[in-house]
Chain A
Amino acid sequence: MSRYSAFSIFRNALSGQKNWQRAWRAAEPKPSYDVIVIGGGGHGLATAFYLAENHGIRNVAVLEKAYIGGGNVGRNTTVIRSNYLLDGNTQFYEFAMKLWEGMSRALNFNVMFSQRGQLVTAHSADQLDGFSHRANIMRLNGIDADILDRDEVRRLVPYLDFSDTARFPIHGAIFQGRAGTARHDAVAWGYARAADGHGVDIIQNCEVTGFLRDGDGIVGVETTKGRIGAAKVGLAVAGHTSVLGAKAGLELPIESHVLQAFVTEPLKPLVDQVVAYGADHFYVSQSDKGGLVFGGNLDGYNSYAQRGNLGVVREVAEAAIALMPCISRVRLLRHWGGVMDMTPDASPVICPTPIEGLYLNGGWCYGGFKATPASGWCFAHTIATGKPHPLIAAYGLERFRTGHTLDEAGAGPSAWLQ
């Protein structure tokens, strides 16, 4: 794999841009691998990369049923943050943030990570107290956090509704300056290219239809491109974890729900940070092309449809205008849906499974994108050593049985309320 650099741009310019290498090979499956990762999304590709990079396991295949970047890694709203409250989440997401900060260099691929900061507005004194609690926990864990009062918020984001008629007046906000966004396609392509550079086979249009067994253990997969053996199989197919999990014999605390995302027509620069609305579920950032990228609540009933319904479009638009009246006449260009694995406590499941040879990475709810590098790092460690990485110790399946759930949203055991 030739490295991208200023010099490579110059060299390829001289030959009319005709001699760029492909970013990753179009691999065909070998009869068997040390590790098969099912799912060519961000998490699956990152897992394959760190298996090779950190553990020297290079006889690895990533199987993707469609094409790289076509699933949730290309359907999210690209927000990256580590403003979590609960022990277990705090440390894990901050580890992810540190990996994001070095990702473009580590992958030799510009993922356009932009630390523009994220603020969440508070709409009552109590909510601001809650945010102060969160900010203190974050600071105790070495994570940057600031509490802003109403005037400070107004100086930073003057276009929010600060009028006397605002339904939920803004009291202040919690701000994380290192939060931001990244180009989500570039994350998938960067990991794919870097993993390929280590010899990982990335096999697209290869759907896993079943598992090969030896006794109770799993020794490979059946696919639309034939049978492939593997010493270990990692499942990273968020959205369809239940479907594939059932084929392997796993019973899971997961429901699939659609989450919609939206982008408006391009505007002049307006939203400099990621802004989240504390009175409803709405968050917005501005893309480099100028479109406002935003999202809100789940559609809220089980769905594998990868498309949403209009009721939620209206709800999100209402929240958007309640927070930012100035965008009421802006036109929506597109909206789309991604299928989320919703767990009953809004935290992921990433662990070895009771089935020999099978490892599970799923249940990311809304928040899978920001976790991508840490998820891959820890999942690779778990697959390579057979034991959970210390940072994901809290994300085991057994937590639902033992009562050690991490209910960050505090919404109880109904997955669609998380």
Chain B
Amino acid sequence: MLRIECPCCGLRDHDEFRYGGDASVTRPAHHDPDPEAWYRYVYIRTNQAGLHREFWQHVTGCRQWLVVERDTRNHAIASVSLARKLSARKSPARKSPA
């Protein structure tokens, strides 16, 4: 059984969570006109046999989205973090509209 250490709620059975897919995929910018970028975002996956970064949402708990690093060969979980903290760190500072 997978057990995920939710940063808000503690160690919980994975039945409380909903899988949200590969977290290493980055969405193209909203107005990106390149169909290739969208094709890759929607369809292409590295599908790692090993450490996999993935989204889970704690649906029957705090409802936070998490990023979990899990080994797909044996389900060992290496790390759990809040998705919004990671995305805040990653995205560039917003410019105010001109």
Contacts and interface: CB of A to CB of B under 8 A. Distances in A.
Q: Contact residue range for chain A?
A: 20 to 34
A251 B45 CA distance: 7
Contacts of A305: 72-75
Contacts of B70: 301
B72 A253 contact: no
Contacts of A302: 22, 47-48, 52, 54, 72
B46 A304 contact: no
A344 to B, nearest CB: 6
A344 B42 contact: yes
Given A301-B54, A302-B52, A252 B47 contact: yes
B19 A309 contact: no
Interface string A304-329: 11000111000000000000000000
B12 to A, nearest CB: 12
Q: Which of B15, B35, B47, B72 has the most CB of A within 10 A?
A: B47
A252 B75 contact: no
A391 to B, nearest CB: 23
Nearest to B73: A304
A243 interface: yes
Interface in A273-313: 300-305, 309-311
B30 to A, nearest CB: 18
**A-side interface mostly:** mixed
A147 B54 CA distance: 42
Contacts of A254: 45, 47
A131 to B, nearest CB: 29
A416 B43 contact: no
A54 interface: no
Given A302-B52, A401-B39, A242 B45 contact: yes
Given A242-B47, A413-B42, A309 B2 contact: yes
Contacts of A91: none
A304 B49 contact: yes
Contacts of B73: 304-305
A413 B22 CA distance: 13
B29 interface: no
A303 to B, nearest CB: 5
A416 B40 CA distance: 17
B54 A344 contact: no
Contacts of B42: 344, 400, 413
Contacts of B74: 305
Q: In the complex, which of the residues A240, A255, A302, A416 has the most CB atoms of chain B within 10 Å of its own CB atom?
A: A302
A254 B39 CA distance: 13
19 contacts: A242-B47, A243-B49, A251-B40, A252-B45, A254-B45, A254-B47, A255-B45, A255-B47, A256-B49, A300-B19, A302-B22, A302-B52, A302-B72, A311-B1, A311-B13, A344-B42, A400-B39, A414-B21, A415-B45
- The 4 A-B pairs of least Cβ separation, nearest first, read A242-B47, A253-B43, A301-B19, A311-B15
